[in-house]
Amino acid sequence: MVISAPADTPRRRAPSSGVVGIFLSRPMRVVGLIILVLYLFMAILGPVVFPPSVALVANPAKIYQGPTWADPLGTDFQGVSVLAEIVLGARGVLMVGVGAAFLIVIIGVGMGLMAGFTGGFVDAVLMRITDVFIAIPQFPLLLLVATILNASSPWLIILMLSLTSWGGLARAVRSLTLSLRERDFVEAARGLRLGTRLITTRVILPNMLSYVAMNFMVSITGAIYAEVGLLFLGITPFTPDNWGVMLHEADGVSGALYTSSSILYVLSPMIAILLLQAGIIFVLGALDEVFNPRLRTGATR
């Protein structure tokens, strides 16, 4: 075996190396993009295609049916079409995921910027608080808060999810701020006596925008994980059409675990979540390359 420096051997790629080229350079990235678009459609048009008042009605005659033309994914323990449940579930999952990611980014970036740019005592206090939030196992805390607040509205869930998971981002933004602070252009801005707020918002923030954008995507996956998890545990009150609820029922009341004819019902919500997460991860890889040209293959020194 030969141990040597990483070889950035160029791979064959399309000549265009703009954003489109980066996506096209790996087929999985295109797949990821298609998946995300598909989910977006499900979230927006789902209730039009499957009106909940019709699609979600129990039908004892059709319990755990295999796939048919009418119900391509079979039916659940109440005879409801699994496909309808999956499509209708997309809106709630995406909304909470995106909403929570949005708040996480706002809190995390805010705390990180403030700590990093102010320094001193404020920094020390903010970072200790951040450390506490990083150290606390997110899920048990979430459960505690969820039961106390008896959270039923999606907004409350968004709030809880973001309050329990901004720590890592705040830390990263702080160290980014610290390193940016030392750069020439920030020095220059300070020399011009621009105010702290102006420097942070006009000079530092734009420079970490790509990092923040990446983190937004990562936070979506994290929030979806936690949200579906909460529902899976049956802690937050149900909305009937959510993948987490399907999982919860698959694990509990439905008796799905005692029969293998329920396989489509059990697998569908999982695959729905996995595809969404995979789509985000693939697109994330592409964004990473768009934002960090250094990662582009074959870049010469």
Partner 1 sequence: MNTLRRFGVALIMIWMVVTLTFFMIRLMPGNPIFDAYQTLLQQGVPSQQALVQIHILYDVYPNQSVVVQYLLYMWHLLHGNFGTSVVYTGRPVLPIILAAAPWTLLLVSIGLTISFFIGLLLGVLIALHRNTWFDNLMSQLASIFHGIPNYITGFVFLYFFTVILNWFPFGNIYNPAIHPGFSYGFVASVAYHSVLPIAAYVFGAFGTWTLSTKSAAMAVLGDDFTMADRIRGLTSEQQLEHLVHNSVLPLFTGFVLSLGIMFGGAVFIEETFSIPGLGYLVATSTAQRDYPVMQGVFLVLAGAVIVANFLADTLYSRIDPRIRV
Partner 2 sequence: MSEIALSVNNLVVEFPTDSGPLRAVDRVSFELERGTIMGLIGESGCGKSTVAFALLNSVPTPGQIVSGQVDYPGVGDLLKMSDEAQRLFRWQHVAVVFQASQNTLNPLRRIDEQIRELATAHRMRDPKALLERADSLCRRLRLDSRRVLHAYPHQLSGGMKQRVGIMLALLLQPDILVFDEPTTALDGLSQESVLQIIREIHDEEGLTGIFITHDLGIVSEVADTVAVMYAGRMVERASSHTIFSGPKHPYSQALMNALPRLSGDPHLARGLRGSPPKVIGDQFKCLFRDRCEYRMEVCDQSEPQLIQVAGEDAQVACFLHGKEVERVSV
Ligand X SMILES: Nc1ncnc2c1ncn2[C@@H]1O[C@H](COP(=O)(O)OP(=O)(O)OP(=O)(O)O)[C@@H](O)[C@H]1O
Map the footprint of partner 2 across residues 8-47, applying CB under 8 A: 8-10
Which residues share a beta bridge with 81? 75
Q: If binding is defined by CB under 6 A, does position 301 make contact with ligand X?
A: yes
Q: Cβ 6 to ligand X, closest distance in Å?
A: 9
Q: If binding is defined by CB under 6 A, does position 128 make contact with ligand X?
A: no
In the bound state with partner 2, the residue whose beta carbon lies nearer, of 4 and 150, is: 4
Q: If binding is defined by CB under 8 A, does position 4 make contact with partner 2?
A: yes
In the bound state with partner 1, the residue whose beta carbon lies nearer, of 10 and 51, is: 10
Among 237, 252, 255, 298, binds partner 2 (CB under 8 A): 298
* Residues in contact with partner 1 by the rule CB under 8 A: 1-9, 11, 28, 128-129, 131-132, 134-141, 143-150, 168, 221, 225, 228-229, 232-235, 247, 250-251, 257-258, 260, 263, 266, 270, 273-274, 277-278, 280-281, 285, 297
In the bound state with partner 2, the residue whose beta carbon lies nearer, of 4 and 260, is: 4
3 phi and psi angles, rounded to 5 deg:
-100, 120
Q: Cβ 5 to ligand X, closest distance in Å?
A: 7
Query: Which of ligand X, partner 1, partner 2, none has residue 243 at its interface (CB below 5 to 8 Å by kind)?
Result: none
Q: Cβ 255 to partner 1, closest distance in Å?
A: 11
In the bound state with ligand X, the residue whose beta carbon lies nearer, of 53 and 300, is: 300
Residues 216, 220: Cα–Cα separation, whole Å: 6
Map the footprint of ligand X across residues 250-269, applying CB under 6 A: none
In the bound state with ligand X, the residue whose beta carbon lies nearer, of 70 and 299, is: 299
Q: What does the binding site for ligand X look like in residue numbers (CB under 6 A)?
A: 300-301
